[in-house]
Amino acid sequence: MDLVLIESLRVDTVIGVYDWERTMTQTLVLDLELATDIRPAAADDAIDKTLDYAAISERIAEFAASQAFELVETFAERLAERLREEFNIPWLGLTVRKPGAVPTASAVGVRIERGSREEAVS
């Protein structure tokens, strides 16, 4: 299994459980591991045969800008579903961090894995 990486992607969204958080956008920081087989793309040097990280990053930014969730957990789950469906990703690892949410921590967040690694290999 090969992985396409997107690290420290910053997106702005409405996120939070407190009323004051619902009136503004906040920055989330995302790390993604996206399973694919890069050999067909590498053989032909063809972007259309791999996961286009620029297109995926743009889609994530659009998703974040158009959504409003209370929980980082909900953001992560819905984004993972959307990416797997739209880009035909058999397995992904997603970390979502919310900087500044806890004053004594640099960030809080969640890390999820969705899909099947076995499906990504076959």
Among residues 98, 105, 106, 112, the one annotated as catalytic is: 98
CA distance 65 to 76: 14
Taken in order 79, 6, 112, 1, the sign of the CA dihedral is positive
CA distance 45 to 1: 19
DSSP state of 105: S
- Annotated active-site residue 49? The verdict is no
Which residues are identified as catalytic? 98
